Amino acid sequence: MSLRNDNRFAPLFSVIPVELYIWPRLQQLFISNSNYRALLLFLSPTLRCCSVYHWHDDDEYHAIPRTVPINTFDNCMAADQLSLLSDRVQLCKELVRLSCPTLDWAAWKHLSNIPTLMWMTVNVRRIHSTPPWLVEPHDMVIFSPFLHLTYLSFTGDCAAYATTVLQHLQIPSLKSFFIQVILLVSTEAERLFLALSHCKQTLEELTVEFRECHDPQRNALTVIPHLLFFTQLRTLRLCGFYSRIYLHFDNNLLLEAMSAWPHIRRLRIEDSRFRSSATVTFRGLFTAIRQCPQLESLQLMIDTFNIDIDPDAEPIQHTSLKRLDLETSYSYIGNAEVVARIIFNWFPCVDKVSKYTNNSRLWNEVNEHLKCMRTATALHATGAALNT
C-alpha cells in the first residue's frame, strides 16, 4: 500500500492523535508541504519508502526508522533543524536508501553501523549558521566501514562538505559517486579527488558537475591526473558549465588516461565555455582510443582544423564506439568532407556526430557527408550481392 498526501488534508493532520496508526501495513509514503505531525501520524513499522519534499520551518522533523529515503528541498535551513534531523536519522535501523540534507558526525557514525545501507544522496543546502560538526568530526568519533554502500552523491553550493566526509569514511564497496555543485574551487577539486582516491580500486562510475570554477591564478583545471589511479572506471563525466577555467586535455594526457582506464565505456569531458583551443587532434584521439576497446560513448573537444592524419589511409577501426559527441572552439568545422571521411573510416558504427552546445548547425555538413558515404556503401554492397 502507498499513500500520497494532499494539502487539503493538512487541517485533518492537526486533530488526529499522532499515536494512532491509520495504515499499519503502509509501505510507501510520499509527502509534500507536510509537517512533523503528519510524519508521526503515518509512521508504520512496515514502511519501506518515504519521501518528504518540503519541511516547514516551524515544524520538527522525524525520520522514519525503517527503509526510508528522506528528501527535503528547503532553500535554507537552520543549524538546529539540521541537528534535529541528524538525531531523528539515528532512529533508523534498517535503511537501504537514504536521501537527506547534511548530517552531523554522530548520524554518520550511526549510518556506518547499518549493514543494509546501499544507496545514499546528500543535499548540502545553505544554512543560517555553520555548526562545527559540518567542518570536522570530533576526535573521539570512530566510524565503522560502510560495507555495502555502493552509491553516494552530493549536491549543493560547494564541495567542502563532501570532501570532509570522504576524508573520514571508509567505503570499501563504493561503485558510483556523483557530485553536483555550483562553485568548485580548483584547490578544493584536488582535495576532493584525493579524498575519493580511497575508493580507486572499486569505483566504476564517477560524475562531477559544476557551474562555476574559480582559480586565483586562472590556470586550467587539470583534474585528470588525479583520476589515473581509478583503474576500474567504466563511466566518467566531467562537466563544467559556464566555468571560468577549462578542463585541460591534450593528446598526451588523453593517451595516459585511456591507458589507465582499459574498461572505460562512457567518457564525457564537457566545458561549455571553451576558453582555449582544443589540443586533442584526430591522431591523438585514434592513438589513445586503441587502449579502450570497450568504449561505447565519447564526448570531448577536438581540433577540427589541424588535420594530422590521412583521411584515406588504411584505418584501424574502432568497432565498439557508437556515440560520438564532439566540439571545437571554432565557429565552424573547417573541411567538413575530410572530417567526415576520417570518422567514416575509423568509426564504422558512428552514424552521426552529435553536438552538445547551442550551435545546432555546427556538425550538420559533416553529418550530411557521413550520410552520403553510408548510402553509397550500402548501395555498393547491395549491387555486389545481386551480382553474386
DSSP assigned state of 371: H
Count CB-CB contacts under 10 A for residue 377.
12
DSSP secondary structure of 151-220: EEEEEES-SHHHHHHHHH---TT--EEEEEEEEEEHHHHHHHHHHHGGGTTT--EEEEEEEEEE-TT---
Write down the pLDDT at residue 178.
96
- Burial label for 115, CB within 10 Å (0-12, 13-18, 19+), is exposed
Least confident of 10-14, 176-180, 191-195, 247-251: 10-14
Q: Which residues of 87-97 are buried (b: 16+ CB within 10 A; e: fewer)?
A: bbbbebeebbb
Confidence class for position 224, pLDDT limits 50, 70, 90: confident
Cell reading at 54: 518540503
Q: Say what the pLDDT of residue 66 is.
A: 36
- Which of the four pLDDT bands, split at 50, 70 and 90, describes residue 58? very low
Residues 213, 243: Cα–Cα separation, whole Å: 5
pLDDT > 90? residue 93: no
266-to-192, 205, 233, 328, 353 alpha-carbon distances in Å: 22, 9, 9, 20, 15
List, for residues 296-316, the tens digit of each pLDDT value: 999 988 888 889 998 888 889
Q: How far apart are CA 342 and CA 89, in angstroms?
A: 56
Q: State the Cα–Cα distance between residues 199 and 237, nearest whole angstrom.
A: 17
pLDDT at 357: 55
Q: Rounded to whole angstroms, how far apart are CA atoms 178 and 197?
A: 14
Nearest one of 343, 332, 331 to 367, comparing CA atoms: 343
**Average pLDDT value for the chain:** 76
Poorest-pLDDT segment among 130-134, 345-349, 376-380: 130-134
Q: Which residues, in sequence order, are CB contacts of 83 under 8 Å at separation 6+?
A: 104, 131, 133
Mean pLDDT across the stretch 359-374? 86
**pLDDT higher than threshold 80 for residue 376:** yes
pLDDT tens for each residue of 171-217: 999 999 999 988 777 778 888 989 999 999 999 999 998 877 666 55
3-state SS class at 259: helix
The answer to whether the beta carbons of residues 212 and 185 sit under 8 Å apart is: no
The pLDDT score that the predictor gives to residue 294 is 96
Q: Return the beta strands (E) in 186-309 as ranges.
A: 205-214, 235-240, 266-271, 297-301
